[in-house]
Amino acid sequence: MADQQQLAERLGVTIDPETLRLALTHRSYAYENGGIPTNERLEFLGDSVLGFSVTGHLYEHYPHLPEGELAKRRAAVVSTRALARLAREIGVGEFILLGQGEIRTNGRDKSSILADTMEALFGATFLSSGLEPARELVLRLVLPLLVEVDDFGAGTDWKTSIQEAAAEHSLGAVQYEVTGEGPDHARVYHAVLHIGEATYASGTGHSKKEAEQEAAEASWKILRRDLDAKAAAKGA
């Protein structure tokens, strides 16, 4: 197991070693080691730190947006998918304490485990260093995602954004072609998005929903560029 303090260094924060270990203790590991405490209480705390930090930033920096649009932007960057993406970029998975069952089923790359651990790390930072360092950590990680949301849409999920755009521009039916491979305990799904007669991007995940979301996110960027180009051509 990698030295957990290396993770704190990657995050650029100070976390008490005992609190850091707790933040990285998944329930599967706790169960196999005599029912020791898990990271779930820290996850609960970190969820509040995350929500407070993002909400405050959105309120301050988007004064022109109504409540509904602010809520959509917040949902887009505090979702399981967004948090798991951050965790993968940082390399959180290698530090998580997992039970043998989760290790065998590639738990270090499961979006739900990664997202929950990110929230626990936010909570651990709050306990060890206080609110401001925890808020700064959240915003340092999340602000690039907010820039993407501004560029590519702020739906509560990418599938919703795709569905709404297809309906608004009469592009045809939205369909996901999903296939799976591998044994049941480590199955990987691949999804390809079709809108009307057009084929867009593909996505991969450990569940059908995750694969479809990844395909929708990649397709949304392509779709937006296509629609913008058509609008520009009409206005020329």
Is 47 noted as a catalytic residue in this protein? Answer: yes
Helices 40-61 and 111-129: angle between axes, nearest 10 degrees: 80
Q: For tokens 């940082």, what's the residue? A: 90
Residue type (1 letter), 43: E
> Looking at the DSSP assignment, which residues form a beta bridge with residue 199?
194
**Is 60 labelled as part of a ligand binding site?**
no
Amino acid at 32: E
Q: Is 119 annotated as a binding residue?
A: yes
109 is catalytic: no
* Amino acid (1-letter code) at residue 110: K
Any binding-site annotation on 102?
Answer: no
Phi, psi (deg, nearest 5) at residue 153: 120, 155
Q: Which among 84, 220, 83, 101 is positioned nearest to 159, based on CA atoms?
A: 220
Among candidate residues 3, 9, 32, 47, the one labeled active-site is 47
Q: What sign for the dihedral angle of Cα 155, 157, 163, 166?
A: positive
Report yes or no: 39 and 18 within 8 Å, Cβ to Cβ: no
Looking up tokens 């954004």 gives 161
- Active-site residue identified among 3, 40, 89, 119: 119
Annotated binding site for Mg(2+): 43, 116, 119
Annotated binding site: 43, 116, 119
Task: Show which residues are catalytic.
Answer: 47, 119
